[in-house]
Amino acid sequence: MDAFLSGLKAAVDTLGATVLLPIVIFVIAVVLGARVGKAFRAAVTIGVAFIGINLVLGLMLGSIGDVAQAIVTNTGIQRDIVDVGWPSAAAIAFGSSVGLWVIPIGIAVNIVLLLTRLTRTLNVDVWNFWHFAFIGSLAVAATGSLVYGLAIAALMAALALLFADWSARAVQKFYGIPGVSVPHLASAQILPIAIVVNWAIERIPGLNKVEISTETIERRFGVFGEPVVLGLIIGLVLGAIAYYNAGDFGTVLSKVLQTGMTLAAVMLLLPRMVKILMEGLLPVSEAAQEFVRKRTGDRELLVGLDSAILIGHPAAISSSLILVPIAIVLSIILPGNRVILFADLAVIPFIVAMTAPLLRGNVFRMVIVGTVTLVLGFYVANALAPLFTDAAVASGFEMPENAVQITSVVDGFLWISYAVIAAIRSFGAAGLALLALLIAGSFWFYRRNMAAWERAAGAEDGDGEVPVPAATKAPA
């Protein structure tokens, strides 16, 4: 059994998400009744779309990463907890004792919840099961028990499906991607924070009237408010902050202009990559709905995908770019903070993208919610860094030079990680049982109050077809 699981994990590691996802999509589409040729074309199209998305994201993340590290260098801050980035966190998760089991556990949880009609999401984003394994590996580091780690991984797989169902209507409506949900734990965990912060903003006179969205900016400023020009302007500002002392005037000008053009390209290209993804998803979604309709009547089945499909919206990109320097300032001024950010500053878009439907694309509110989330995240990271480091050492991860402890924004900053560890540290098996009851109760409460929950997540209605607003459609 261990040999099979090791081989399965090695295959996932070797193939990577862009190859594994089309294979999974093809198999699922055929099982759901799609013609082989149509399923094959859809799978290849989805794979191509994700390659395109990853290429553009790589361009953006590389540029933001360089800008962020330049800003950090300019500030001269020194900390002993080093941000090693999500690729390191994923390697630690899959290299842990929980990582060996997480794929069959994640699939089993999904099947059980589908059969019991507690979820409508079929999670094909197998690569991102590493998030479940990572929190499970923290539990193993905290308790020394693999059983605790596996149980936590299973609970996190269920929680991701709950978040996916809860936010699906809002995500489909705002982003214009029908038939999907996003069971990405690192992205969805911001929703409860966003609801609380948005509730508070609504009750602050003056602040509740501030409306800064990419649509209003475009209406007021014409060509200078268009996403591609907006990306250029934000890139130029960030480049100037980062590279003002990078050398002579020619060198500084070159770096600033390159940053501006890179982010302008991202603003234009990402929505077009998402449009290709939608082209591939449509036949799979149709096959899923037809399969379910024949067997259960009007029940809905959603395809669960990576939150990378959300990053292309101008509101998500704009708010994320503004949050980069804010995150660096927070790392300097927060009392007691020992974390220095490096690699994962570039993944802030994944952290804030799911707030856009709830906040109606209001960049001003997205930045406020993102700032609150980061403040909370810094203190979570400080608290969890010892366990993060222990889990890394146990998985054979090589510690960076001069780093006493390590963390990452994904998943070291997540309140969910802290809540899980606090529960099992404080109450042991009773804490584990309490977490299971809370998640099970949340599923039951969601099913009983679906319309209200979906409105809270940003959908205007809880049922019926999801219209695609013209303002959020990917450009042709």
* pLDDT less than 70: residues of the chain: 1-17, 61, 218-225, 292-293, 295-298, 343, 401-403, 460-476
For 421-461, the DSSP string reads HHHHHHHTHHHHHHHHHHHHHHHHHHHHTHHHHHHHTT-S-
In a domain, 69, yes or no: no
Q: CA–CA distance from 293 to each of 32, 110, 115, 297, 387 (Å)? A: 11, 19, 15, 4, 46
Q: What is the pLDDT of residue 296?
A: 62
The b-or-e profile of 129-141 (16+ CB within 10 A means b, else e) is bbbbbbbbbbbbb
In a domain, 49, yes or no: yes
In a domain, 115, yes or no: yes
Bridge partners, residue 121, by sequence: 302
For 201-235, the DSSP string reads HHTSTTGGG---BHHHHHHHHGGGGSHHHHHHHHH
In this structure, the chain runs to a length of: 476
Q: What is the pLDDT of residue 6?
A: 62
Q: Which two tokens stand for residue 100?
A: 């060996």
Write out pLDDT tens, residues 397-435.
777 766 688 899 888 999 999 999 999 999 999 999 999
In a domain, 119, yes or no: yes
What letter represents residue 394's amino acid? A
Q: What is the pLDDT of residue 30?
A: 86
In a domain, 66, yes or no: no
Alpha carbons 119 and 106: distance in angstroms, whole number? 13
Alpha carbons 52 and 277: distance in angstroms, whole number? 9
| Number of domain units in the chain | 1
In a domain, 62, yes or no: no
Instruction: Name the one residue in this structure whose structure tokens are 């704009």.
Output: 318
In a domain, 70, yes or no: no
Write out pLDDT tens, residues 198-226.
999 999 999 989 988 777 776 666 666 67
Q: Which two tokens stand for residue 48?
A: 């191509």
How is the chain split among helix, strand and coil, in percent rounded to 5? Answer: 75, 5, 20
Give, rounded to a whole angstrom, the gap between the first and last alpha carbons of the chain: 49
In a domain, 72, yes or no: no
**Structural domain harbouring 223:** 2-57+77-472
Q: What is the pLDDT of residue 3?
A: 63
Compute φ and ψ for 180, nearest 5 degrees. Answer: -125, 165
Which residues lie below 8 Å from residue 201, measured CB to CB, with a gap of 6+?
A: 207, 208, 365, 368
Q: How many CB atoms lie within 10 A of CB 368?
A: 21
